[in-house]
Each structure stands twice: as structure tokens, then as C-alpha cells.
Amino acid sequence: MVGTELALFIMIGALSILAAVMMLISENAVHSALFLIINFACVAFLYLMLNAPFLFAVQITVYAGAIMVLFLFVIMLMGAERVLPQETQRFPWLAPATLGVTMVILFVAGLAIIRSDLDTSEPEPAEPIFRFVHAAAGTDAVDVYIDGEKVVSDLLYREASDFEEFPAGSYTAQVVPHEAELLPENIVLETPVFLAGNGVLSYVLTADAANGAVQTLQVEGRIDPNDEKDIARLTVVHAIPCADGSTSCPIEVADITEPGDDPMVLVKSLDYGQAAHFEIKEGEYTLATYPQGHIRAAIDERGDTDEKLDLDALVQVDKKVVEQNTAV
């Protein structure tokens, strides 16, 4: 269907240009007016191809109809159709040659378009992308398989894999120790993976406080455009199991770059298994994570905060992070 529309557009467009050129080079005023009518009709047909029936009707009734009838009436009333040039043109071949070269160029361009990949009216949907983040303390480097195909190798603790593009669908992800064979006795974690549309997913490997096993947290990313060139998007995932084995141990994330200033809370009440997105300008920051309601006390004891929570992080938002537009 798209190929038919493209062929019609090329043919009607070429006819419209041909009629316009003939209108300009014709020596008879009546013939010029008739060629102009053909041009108006071609333009009307192009409106119809663009699903604009009202403009099509206006073009036919007003321009190709009423106005051209008026033109023809004035031309024939004044006898302009009998006025012919008295002198022989110096280069009588110039107009036909120009028309011929123009038509050849249009033919070659149309042929190139037809044989190219421009026959798709809608862009092909992007495939979903995903990655794995190793946040399971006490677990060595791992490999990740998707339906038996290795997609991540030697993923170390506190590291994230590169984004992988995969067709949409339902899969099974298997996590095994690095360089271990994909055998049932070696599988550390087996979890379903659902990829749909043009989504951006991060699967965070974390430890289950109840039984010490490895589990996954699915985090959806953001792919909508960011108009601010010096702004980066950060994603914070609460992947540390609660000490008492429950699922409610909310934390807060704050900017403590300036010791003398009050901490700027960036994320509030983030429970285990949840993720939060926020934006931050390009620069170097010290972001700290604390149990909910304990930021002020932790700021007063910054000297040993690392030993207490092991969550302090120096975050440098440089141009590379801004260009990637996302980070975890």
C-alpha cells in the first residue's frame, strides 16, 4: 500500500511540474491556461492523498473551476489567444531542452526513491533494552544467561552490565557463578524476564535477608527526551535487605556536598525493592543514604558514617553521564 502511494505521488508530482513548465513556455495564452488547470488538478489530487478532502474540494471548485473560468473568459474576450510572437526566438531549443533535463532528473530521483528503503511510512519500533546490576553482597562475580544464551559475563559486585538489545517477549534468566557451566546445580537464580515495546529495564541482583538467596528487583528506566543538556537523570534503587527480614525499612537520599549547609533531600521514604528517579546538574556531589528521619544525626557524625551505613557515595556527574542521560 505504501509503495502504491509513493508511485502515485511521484507520477502526480511529475505531471504537476510538467504542466507548470508547459504553462510557462506555451506561446498560446489559452494553452497556458489549460496547462494551469492541469496543475491545479494535480495539486488537488495531492491534497486528497494527504487525507484533506476539504482542501481538495476547494482547490477544484475555486481554483480549477471559478478562477480559471474567469481567466479563460478574459483571455478570449481580449483575443489574447491570437497574439503570437513576431520575432523568432534566438534559442528555440532552450525551453524543450530544459524541460527534458528536468524530467530526466525527476525520473532518476523517483527511481532512486522507489528502490531505496523510503517505502516505510512509520519507523520500526525500537527493541527493548535491559541490563543487570550486581548488588548482592557476599556473592562473587556471576554470568547471566537468557534462555541458555550468555548475555552478561563476569559481572562483579557493585557493577552494572552494558545495556543489551533483545526482541520483545518472555524469557527466563539464569544466573550462575562466573565461568561455571549452565547446569541446574550451578544456577544461583532463575527468574522470568518480560521485555515489551521500547522499554528500558534494569534487573538488580540483591540478597534476600530471609534466606540469603539471590533475588532480582526490576527497575524501569526513562527514555523520554531531556531538553536540558547539562542535566543528568539518576536512578536510586533500595536493594539492601532490611536487617529484621521485613520489607519496610525506608531510607532517604540527600546531597551533603557542602558540610556547612543543611542536607538537600533528593529522595524521601524509599522502601526496600523500590526505585526513585531524580535529575541533577552536571558537577561533583557527595550523596549519602540514611534511614528515614536520621539525616541530621548522620550529618553531625559524618566522620564515621561510612562505617555505620556503608552507603556513602561520591557521585561525579560529568559530560559522559549527562550524554547517557541515565545512571544507577
pLDDT in tens, 12-48: 888 888 888 888 888 788 888 888 889 999 999 999 9
Model confidence at 259: pLDDT above 70:
no
Does 231 share its domain with 304?
A: yes
CATH code: domain of residue 252: 2.60.40
Q: Are 209 and 245 in contact (CB under 8 A)?
A: yes
Nearest-10 Cα torsion for 241, 242, 248, 252: -80
Mean pLDDT lowest for which of 60-74, 161-175, 217-231, 267-281? 217-231
In a 3-state reduction of DSSP, which class is residue 129? strand
Q: What is the pLDDT of residue 143?
A: 92
Q: Is residue 151 located within the same domain as residue 232?
A: no
Total of domains in the chain? 3
CA distance 193 to 129: 12
Both 15 and 94 in one domain: the answer is yes
Same domain, 150 and 77: no
Range of the domain at 304: 224-328
CA dist 141 to 20, 69, 205, 310, Å? 71, 83, 11, 20
Strand 264-270 relative to strand 251-255, pairing: antiparallel
Res 315: pLDDT? 39
- pTM (2 decimals)? 0.51
CA dist 279 and 285 (Å) reads 13
Which residue, among 20, 177, 201, 1, has the nearest Cα to 99 in the 3D structure?
20
Same domain, 136 and 204: yes
Rank 100-109, 222-231, 266-275, 288-297 by mean pLDDT and report only the highest: 266-275
